[in-house]
Amino acid sequence: MTDQNRSRRLTTASGKPYVENENSKSVGARGPLLLEDFILHEKLAHFNRERIPERVVHAKGTGAFGTFTVTHDITRYTKAKLFSEIGKQTKLFLRFSTVGGEKGSADTERDPRGFAIKFYTEDGNWDLVGNNTPVFFIKDPKKFPDFIHTQKRDPRTNCKSATMMWDFWSLNPESLHQVMILMSDRGTPYSYRHLDGFGSHTFSLINANNERVWVKFHFKTLQGIKNFTAEEAVEMKGKDPDFAQRDLVEAIDKKDFPKWAMKIQVMTDEEAQAFPWNPFDLTKVWPHGDFPLHDVGILELNQVPRNYFAEVEQSAFAPAHVIDGISYSPDKMLQGRILSYTDAQRYRLGGNYEQIPVNRCPFMVANHQRDGLMAVNGNGEDTPNYFPNSFDDIYVDESYTEPAVELDSAVAGWFDRNGANDNDHYSQPAALYNKVMNDYERHNLVANIVDAMSGISGEKKDIIINRQLCHWFRVDMSLGMAIAKGFGIDINAVMQHAPKQQAELV
């Protein structure tokens, strides 16, 4: 293939050239996404169908049933029935997972950990689908398939590629915050019991007066944070690649039930409007000093599934599944996941995946959906399959109407996800490095980064390494110097790839 043949215009699968491959079409720079952006839908829908039958991401995991018990009153914020009174218990199912590996990969791989909860409430199932980190690598869903491709296997070698990973990260500084967490010891948790969980996205809570606030959900492990070092993780990978799975099952069997404290951060709409950056940006956190954690309740896991395939492998989660009193936000990644997760589950398990026992709402379900593969709930029997009709008693309960959301713009277009006030990718990683990590954690972070980046190879190796080094220098001068020293790199060579002001700083 000649160089001329390598140069090809970007098109859709049907051959239509298009321009916006990174920014989704939205109502204003911070508004919700538009259904008409079919490029977003095409990318996500095709991405969901790239693997069968295992999950495209989060393929390796484990799960358990448990309960959530309310300990503090938050009814001033939400009318959701599971929070209606102190002491109220709700059954749940929680699935942990690694993100990038296949179903047979090791539990101790350096990777984020999925933290997905299905609450079985009387107003339907609420799926809170997050990770063990409060942030993520990207802030626009159109970039998700590209990002995950870099975490999978090289098309030519069929091996994991450090070059692909760091090439993408170095070209997307918005990923820096999450990359720092991943490269710390929190990237190799000791077990699923010893990590925190996060809803990660911004959601909204609606109270009985139809007043809305923005919210972030946190789950603090009561077992304490415990991590493997890089060396310990590699050693356990050889000893027992299913260590986290075994650890969870054995703990519950011994009645050493794992527990997490649910807490929330709350932000009013007025505070969101005045916030110095986009509060719906998934690559950033809300400072706890400004938005403190409020206690809500205790989550406990106390029942191992009787059959792994039936209840863990077939469990299906989707951020689209919210309940009365809990709703969405303009978080662009959340908006994309509302579409893609339900699409992925229909592809993986079929259009009737919510009839599978682990996914089925244990309370009333009434609609006019019929037929399709594996319709196992009686398929509506002889009742009508259309609405409205004169024969059944299914009605619309107007009391569940959500209040309207006031948008900040009437202009629809493709807005730069890193536009004004949204392009600071370094302040929060700097705070993580200088204010949260101790000397031991900083030492391990540098060692893990040097080890991970040492896998970069090929003719673009020096360019990718130097480009990423410039990001580390922007986070903190001592961090950049320590990583460069680990590589034995000439700082003058690095500065050739840095903006002028950064070169002068060094």
Report pLDDT for 43: 82
Known catalytic residue at 209: no
> Which residue of the set 23, 48, 58, 321 is catalytic?
58
Extract the residue ranges of the chain whose pLDDT is less than 50.
Answer: 1-4, 499, 501-506
Of 191, 185, 186, nearest to 244 by C-alpha is: 191
DSSP annotation of 264 reads E
Cα–Cα distance measured from residue 136 to residue 436, given in angstroms and rounded to the nearest whole number? 18
What would you report as the CA-atom Rg of the chain, rounded to the nearest whole angstrom? 23
CB atoms within 10 A of CB 192: 30
pLDDT number for residue 6: 61
Q: What is the pLDDT at residue 48?
A: 81
Catalytic residue among 23, 125, 131, 172: 131
Contact 82, 88 (CB under 8 A): yes
For residue 14, what pLDDT is reported? 65
3-state helix, strand, coil in the chain (%, to 5): 35, 15, 50
Residue-level pLDDT at 46: 75
Q: What are phi and psi of 189, to 5 degrees?
A: -60, 150
Q: What is the pLDDT of residue 153?
A: 94
The overall pTM is greater than 0.85: yes
Q: Which domains does the chain have, with CATH numbers?
A: 26-364 (2.40.180.10), 427-505 (no CATH)
CB 102 within 8 A of CB 59: yes
How confident is the model at residue 182, as a pLDDT? Answer: 98
| The pLDDT of residue 364 | 81
Q: What average pLDDT does the structure give for the chain?
A: 91
497 is catalytic: no
Specify the pLDDT at position 51. Answer: 61
pLDDT tens digits for range 208-232: 999 999 999 999 999 999 999 999 9
Instruction: Return the sign of the alpha-carbon dihedral for residues 276, 281, 286, 287.
Output: negative
Which tens digit of pLDDT belongs to each residue from 12-27?
Answer: 766 667 788 889 999 9
d(CA 417, CA 129): 23
CB count, 10 Å around CB of 124?
17
**Backbone phi and psi for residue 451, each to the nearest 5 degrees, phi listed first:** -65, -45
* Residue of 88, 95, 24, 21 lying closest to 58 (CA atoms): 95
